[in-house]
Structure 1
Amino acid sequence: MSAYIIQTDRLAYAYGERQVLQNISLQVPAGSIFGFLGPNGSGKTTTIRLLLGLIQTGKQRITLFGQDINGNRLSILRRVGALIEIPTLYPHLTGQQNLEIARLARNADRDQVGKVLRMVGLTDDASLKVKGYSLGMRQRLGIALALLGDPDLLILDEPTNGLDPAGIREIRSLLIELSQEHGKTIFVSSHLLSEMEKMVTDVAIIHNGHLLFQGPIGGLYQAYQLRIGAVPNLHGHSAVTLEDIFLNLTNASI
């Protein structure tokens, strides 16, 4: 099997005459937490919709697990869990009932509901109606829905949107646990750079539909330090942040 779970080859997409993506070639390593970073409107959600086969492009190749999405979408999606922005939930039903409906739709095993509730820390709240859930609880329930069927890959689009700092920390801890303890490859898009800095192993930075950088996050810091001549501290890092690097790259590309 390829070392890369997701690969795209010069991916491009346009809405009418507006070019949204141009020559995006991604390589997402197996077992990584891959941060897909960029400001709002940079093309992140369009890329995710293409990866899931929700929209289609021309001849550019998109492969997941070494298979082309165009000819193998159903078999691929059995191995993928996805959450695009705000999860679609039934507020008048309990968290457990929402999961049971989704379990039946995915034809997942009966024990999956209890398992994913434990994974996202919602076991004690499973019998409560979703209309009483906080936004953070709803996001965790959305991730639980994505985890049904025990997927190898999670694709999450802005999973911390609208959360307070405590909720953001909860989601971050959950994603790290899913990667390190459950072996999931996680592709997560966000514009919250300080948060991504705390959990991702690899990054791709996109701006105005162009890929500005891709690789291990450590390689990003090293490349930036060489570029500006920064002197590392005793731990091998300079004082620059991911936000510093991002702003430098995006300003240079305008």
Structure 2
Amino acid sequence: MTYAIQTHQLSYCQGQQTIVDKLNLQVPAGSIFGFLGPNGSGKTTTIRLLLGLIQTSGPSIQLFGQDIRNDRLAILAKVGALIEAPVLYPHLTGYENLQIGRLARQVGRNQIDSVLEMVDLTQEANKRVDRYSLGMRQRLGIALALLGNPDLLMLDEPTNGLDPSGIRDIRRLLIDLSKLYGKTVFVSSHLLSEMEKFVTHVGILNHGQLLFQGSLTQLQRDFSAENSAQTLEDIFLILTKSKL
């Protein structure tokens, strides 16, 4: 199996507190990987480590089989990321925001139309961002992350604050990015009932430790019979409560 993300004994501490504890992630290429955990479990810190935004010595982080320490910039060119809310210029149009983004990433102008189509914002491209709904802003943030045609998309809580319609739009978008465009999607969230509708694989993190990783089907098979758990939320609560 080819992995988009692999880590070996990845750890990170702040003072005496361990935030990420010997993490061995394996994210299959082409998957929609739900990275789940309670608030404060280390999800965002892990994403920042994977992106090289914070440093740790020793353990390796491999993206598509390449150690990120060896050629960080070339490897991260294959990655698009949205950490929490997108940084946008509200007085500019969606197209103009993408124009700034594509200059920063040094990619061709033609990619703007491509990513607008991917996130279904073509009709709203020339509207000022301060007139966008929150869901449209999130989709524009994902469009910015898609500039450069990355193989891996990393999203931290992309549906925070969205109404049901906006959440549904993001879900459909992520499914399309995986199935139609062949992207690996790594998405963190605490909305378990929503994640269960579209992820193919999950990793469950608590207190910096990985309690489970594998396909959603495997998770349901392994835990449902033994614990009479019916949903991803049931299994999540069983796993995380046992580690409190």
Aligned residue number for residue 107 of structure 1: 106
Instruction: Confirm or deny that 1:14 pairs with 2:13.
Output: yes
Q: Give the paired residue count.
A: 244
Larger mean CA deviation between 202-211 and 2-11 belongs to 2-11
For residue 226 of structure 1, report the CA deviation from its aligned partner. 3.8
Note the 1:145-160 alignment, pairs <5 A.
Answer: 145-160=144-159
Distance 1:98 1:225 in 2: 46
User: What is the aligned partner in structure 1 of residue 69 from structure 2?
Assistant: 70
Question: Which consecutive residues of structure 1, in runs of 5 or more, have no partner in the other structure?
Answer: 231-238
Equivalent position amino acid for 1:247 in 2: L
Q: Partner residue of 2:243?
A: 253
RMSD: 1.0
Deviations 1:130-155 (A, max 9, x none): 11111000000000000001110000
SS in 2 for 1:71: coil
Matches within 5 A, 1:1-254: 3-228=2-227, 230=228, 240-254=230-244
Distance 1:177 1:5 in 2: 18
Deviation at 1:203, TM superposition (A): 0.4
**Alpha-carbon contact 2:111-2:148 (below 8 Å) kept:** yes
CA distance in 1, matches of 2:23, 2:201: 16
Q: What TM-score, normalized by structure 2, do the two folds share?
A: 0.98
Q: TM-score, normalised by structure 1?
A: 0.94
Q: CA deviation at 1:208?
A: 1.1
Flag structure 2 segments of 5+ consecutive residues without an equivalent. none
Paired residue secondary structure (2:69): helix
- State how far apart, in whole Å, the 2-side matches of 1:208 and 1:196 are: 21
SS at match of 1:150: coil
For each residue in 1:193-231, what CA deviation from the matched residue of structure 2 results, as whole angstroms up to 9, or x when unmatched?
011100100000001111100000100011102422x4x
